[in-house]
């Protein structure tokens, strides 16, 4: 009886071990299948997104006149010779079936807008010459137009819904040679403020509220789309930080939508203007500047004697002064991604806006009538 009892116990133990091993292997196989499926889904989503956008991405070649002096070594006679040469290249993308193209202002600005020729090459290989519709006076954006119909165009997403860690794809005419190259990464940061300049350092500007990504934005990718895995454009590639590795920036597409809207409705770029230079405050910057408020738009105090409130501008006429901190516009608090410029751009030239301003320890309410950037 004891032997039978021990045999039963051993049998139960062995059955239990076998069942545990079966469950472990089963769960391991499920985990492996799930992991493989997730990797496959991510890969397929990336491919689908690129295929969706790629037909609407264009390469832009800027040609312009270049005059050189030719000296006859025998006679010393000097003559002027004018040639058409390539001045620059970049990327853009079609935003309408009738040929509107969004790109960067610094791409379009590689040539003289009165004499430059803008050559457009579609992913299909088809080529056009484009007309410059306009350059955005406040952001690094420009709009070109080619004349055709039923052209492929992108879908615009909602950049306000972006989160750090979101997967994105940058597409562009890398180095002006590798048309429609795609790189993949994530959103590394949001609401960045950067000082941008061209390669020569002759053009400098501040870009607010830009998207930071580790998707490689190579030279020549400027003006190309930053795309989510749904194949929607959520940014316009604009700059890289050459002092680091894989640090690129894109203008949120929601900041470009007012430009697109006015071009469609009016036929040119119209931007409302307040007329100040400012810095968006953070607790760190406020502490560094020893300011009483750590949010809002601080109107800069220039050391070179120039005023950061443009003379005769709506800000000047409203009574704004260097050192003021604009806290709210029409009750909307200025903080984080909600920048002064993003609020102002919701209005039209001629609109009145109320400004809650902090000055010398007191709050003031001023009224400004916006005019148009010229």
Range of the domain at 359: 272-372
Task: Check residues 20 and 43 and name the one with the higher pLDDT.
Answer: 43
CATH of the domain at 87: 2.40.10.10
202 falls in which pLDDT band (50, 70, 90)? very low
27 is a domain residue: no
Q: Which of 64, 106, 136, 228 is flagged as catalytic?
A: 106
Distance CA 42, CA 297 (A): 40
Average pLDDT, the chain: 85
Q: Per-residue pLDDT for 168 more than 90?
A: yes
Q: Is 140 a catalytic residue?
A: yes
> Backbone phi, then psi, for 151, in 5-degree steps?
-85, 150
> Which of 266, 299, 328 finishes a domain?
266
> Catalytic site residue 228?
no
Which CATH number characterizes residue 280's domain? 2.30.42.10
Among 235, 266, 297, residue at a domain's last position = 266
Given a cut of 90, is residue 367 above it in pLDDT?
Answer: yes
Note whether residue 202 is domain-resident: yes
Q: How many CB atoms lie within 10 A of CB 251?
A: 26
Q: List pLDDT tens digits, range 209-240.
A: 899 999 888 877 889 999 999 999 999 999 88
Q: Which residues of 179-205 are buried (b: 16+ CB within 10 A; e: fewer)?
A: bbbbbbbebbebbbeeebeeeeeeeee
Please check whether residue 43 lies inside any domain of the structure.
no
pTM tops 0.85: no
Tally the domains of the chain: 3
The CA distance from 223 to 141, in Å, is 8
pLDDT of residue 142: 96
The one catalytic residue among 222, 308, 313, 342? 222
Is residue 41 among the annotated active site residues? no
pLDDT at position 194, please?
A: 77
| 266, 283, 313 - which closes a domain | 266
Asked if 283 and 353 sit in the same domain, the reply is yes
Q: Which of 64, 136, 140, 324 is catalytic?
A: 140
Q: Do 161 and 114 belong together in one domain?
A: no
């Amino acid at each position: 009886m004891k032997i039978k009892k021990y045999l039963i116990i051993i049998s139960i133990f062995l059955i239990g071990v076998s069942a545990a091993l079966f469950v472990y292997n089963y769960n391991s196989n499920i985990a492996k299948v799930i992991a493989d499926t997730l990797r496959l889904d991510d890969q397929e989503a990336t491919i689908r997104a690129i295929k969706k956008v790629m037909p609407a991405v264009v390469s832009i070649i800027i040609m312009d006149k270049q005059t050189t002096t030719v000296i006859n070594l025998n006679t010393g006679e000097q003559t002027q010779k004018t040639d058409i040469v390539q001045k620059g290249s970049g990327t853009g993308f079609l935003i309408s079936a009738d040929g509107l193209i969004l790109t960067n202002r610094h791409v379009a600005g590689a040539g003289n807008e009165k004499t430059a020729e803008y050559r457009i090459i579609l992913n299909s290989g088809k080529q056009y010459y484009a007309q410059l519709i306009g350059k955005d006076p406040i952001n690094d954006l420009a709009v070109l137009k080619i004349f055709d119909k039923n052209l492929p165009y992108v879908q615009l997403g909602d950049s306000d819904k972006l989160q750090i860690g979101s997967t994105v794809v940058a597409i562009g005419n890398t180095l002006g040679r590798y048309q429609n190259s795609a790189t993949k990464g994530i959103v590394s940061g949001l609401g960045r403020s950067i000082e941008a300049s061209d390669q020569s350092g002759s053009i400098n500007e501040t870009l607010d509220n830009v998207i930071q990504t580790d998707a490689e934005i190579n030279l020549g990718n400027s003006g190309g789309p930053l795309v989510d895995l749904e194949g929607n454009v959520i940014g316009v590639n604009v700059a890289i930080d050459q002092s680091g590795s894989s640090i690129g920036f894109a203008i949120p597409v929601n900041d470009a939508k007012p430009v697109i809207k006015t071009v469609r409705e009016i036929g040119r770029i119209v931007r409302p203007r307040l007329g100040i230079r400012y810095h968006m405050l953070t607790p760190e910057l406020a502490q560094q500047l020893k300011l009483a408020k750590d949010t809002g738009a601080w109107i800069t105090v220039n050391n070179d004697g120039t005023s950061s409130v443009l003379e005769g501008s709506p800000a000047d006429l409203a009574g704004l002064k260097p050192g003021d901190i604009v806290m709210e516009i029409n009750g909307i608090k200025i903080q984080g991604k909600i920048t002064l410029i993003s609020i102002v751009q919701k209005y039209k030239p001629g609109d009145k806006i109320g400004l809650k301003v902090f000055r010398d320890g007191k709050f003031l309410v001023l009224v400004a009538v916006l005019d148009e950037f010229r």
